Amino acid sequence: DNSVRCVTLVAMRELWCARNLAVATASFSAADFVPSGQLVDPRTRSLVINGYLGSGCLHFFDVARDRHVMDLEVIPRNPGTVITGAELAVVPPRVRFLSFSAAGDSMATVEVSQPPSPAVLKFWSYLPSRQTYELNSRLDAPHKADVTAIASHPSRYMLVTGSRDRTFKIWSRVR
């Protein structure tokens, strides 16, 4: 029935259900998913997942009200191409990592496209007047190697990124 149900194992009852989901028609691999899986926006309690394959969007879904909240275009929809032999392949961009501030008034994303393109770290601020997130800062190649993790501080406007180059960096918002 195109739905995802969260069931408590103790009482064996349904806690919530997300309906009207669409099955992806394109082929994809595990690399296409956000490694952290789905997250919950602390501001609205919306479930946040990657949009359809290659869209570069984050999909916000209100599970309690069973309704779509918004799509946020994180990566402009202008995919690059790679020539492999005689074939021309469209390379879908991906949001690899996502982290919200504790209050949900800011978030950070890491996007990747086809190597050798570096990762891009973006910081977003929530605009209550427009009911959406707006790009605040963009940082190309935040590390010398692939970004492997991000995490927000639980009470401050700080973010930590980790990398395959065995370094971590602490990012702090300056007002």
At residue 45, the pLDDT reads 87
**Confidence check: pLDDT of 116 > 80:** no
Specify the DSSP class assigned to residue 77. S
The secondary structure element, H or E, covering residue 50 is strand 47-50
What is the pLDDT at residue 43? 87
Q: Identify which has the larger pLDDT, 101 or 24.
A: 101
Closest CA to 150 of 137, 135, 163, 161: 161
Q: What is the mean pLDDT of residues 37-66?
A: 80
pLDDT at 32: 46
Whole-number Å distance between alpha carbons of 61 and 41: 10
**Mean pLDDT (whole number) for 83-100:** 71
pTM here?
0.73
Q: Is the pLDDT of residue 19 over 80?
A: no
Cα gap 87→132, rounded to integer Å: 39
Cβ density class 36-53: b for 16+ within 10 Å, e for less: eeebebebbebbbbbbee
At residue 169 the predicted structure's pLDDT band, cuts being 50, 70 and 90, is very high
pLDDT of residue 171: 94
Q: Between 3 and 21, whose confidence is greater?
A: 3
* For residues 13-31, average pLDDT: 60
